[in-house]
Amino acid sequence: MEAAAISAHAHDDDDHGPPEANRSSRVEPQLLGMLLFIISEIMVFGAFFTAYFFIRVVNGDDWFPVGGHELPVYVAGVNTAILVSSSFTLHWAEACIKRDNHWGLKAGMLATFLLGCTFLFVQINEYVHIGFSPQDFAQGTIFYGLTGLHGAHVFIGLTLLAMVVVRSFRGHFSSTEHRGVEVPGIYWHFVDVMWIVVYFTVYIL
């Protein structure tokens, strides 16, 4: 270690920064990073869906109603609509900032954020009233597992959105500099799409 330090010092090139890296791909690093991260996230959901698959398909246990407990398909359906609409408001916000429409960005981001919060609130409310717990039977475990995992992602998404909202109100974005909206935005779209899959497999099928 000593040696490393000494020779690095001998160069004495601390005064100048690193050379500009060559860009060997048209994809932006942040964008690519987020896409890869989403692949990982999809695999996390994949593992939970594997659990679902084993209980429901491999073991052939019946799915809801289980022990007289039904899933609130319609409430959850409305909730789905809420979450999906937040993707549209988000898209609108992004479209706005690309045209330097700051008001649109703020309104769009705020709406997205609030819709997301509503979704989470309805989801928690559903847990409170649903009448069974994850400890009761394996189907309950899977139900809470999948929706809970998704809820956790909504929470992460909302945290990111909150930052974007703050920064939009401070005017940090513009038509040339809006990566900070785009990258969390991709994540939020992913959370939405994932919900549609969860809703379809858990509530409808």
Partner 1 sequence: MRQASLFRAMEFLAIGVGFSYGLSCLTRWAYHIHPVLDSAAAAPIIMLAAPLFFLVGLGAFDYWFYWASGKPSRPEDHSLHGAHSWKDYFRINTDHKVIGIQYTVHSFVFLFIGGLMAMLMRAELAAPGRQFIDANTFNGLFSVHASLLIFLFIIPVFAGLANFVIPLMIGAPDMAFPRLNALSFWLLPIAGIMMLASFFMPGGSFASGWTAYAPLSDSAPIGQDFFTIGVQFAGASSIATALNFLVTIITMRAPGMSFFRMPLLVWANFSTSLLVVIATPFIAASQFFVLLDRALGFNFFDPTQGGDVLMYQHVFWFYSHPAVYIMMLPGFGIISEVLAVKARKPIFGYRMMAFSLLAIVVLGFTVWAHHMFVSGMQSWIRIPMMVTTAIIAVPTGIKIFSWLATLWRGVIHLDTPMLFALGFLTMFTLGGISGVMLAMIPLDIHVSDTYFIVAHIHYVLFGGSLFTIFAGVYYWFPKMTGRMFDERLGRIHFWLTFIFFNLTFAPMHLIGVQGMPRRVADYSEQFAGWNLLISISSWILGLATLVFVYNVVASWRGGPRAGANPWRALTIEWQVSSPPPIFNFDEIPTVVGGPYEYGVPGAVHAVFKKPEAPVPAAATGGDH
Residues that bind partner 1 (CB under 8 A): 1-5, 7-9, 11, 13-14, 16-25, 27-29, 32-33, 36-37, 39-41, 43-44, 46-48, 50-51, 54-55, 58-59, 61, 134-141, 144-145, 163, 166-167, 170, 172
Question: What are the backbone dihedrals phi and psi of residue 171, each rounded to the nearest 5 degrees, phi first?
Answer: 75, 35
Take residue 186 and report the two structure tokens written for it: 């991709």
Smallest gap from residue 14 Cβ to partner 1 (A): 6
Closer Cβ to partner 1, 3 or 205, answer by number: 3
For residues 55 and 14, give the distance between their C-alpha atoms in angstroms, rounded to a whole number: 59
* Beta-bridge partners for 66: 69
Q: Return the number of the residue (52 or 79) whose C-beta is nearest partner 1.
A: 52
Nearest-angstrom CA–CA distance, 188 and 102? 20
Q: CB within 8 A of 104, min separation 6: which ones?
A: 92, 93, 95, 96, 97
Please report, as a single letter, which amino acid is at residue 69. Answer: H
If the CB atoms of residues 2 and 74 are measured against partner 1, the closer one turns out to be 2
Across the chain, where does the E strand assignment appear? none
* Smallest separation, CB 85 to partner 1 (Å): 26
Residue number, 4 or 205, with CB nearest to partner 1: 4
Cβ atoms of 154 and 116 within 8 Å: the answer is yes
Smallest separation, CB 94 to partner 1 (Å): 19
- From the CB of 41, what's the least distance to partner 1, in Å? 7
Name the DSSP letter for residue 66: B
Please report how close the Cβ of residue 181 comes to partner 1 at its closest, in angstroms: 13
* Of 72 and 180, CB closest to partner 1: 180
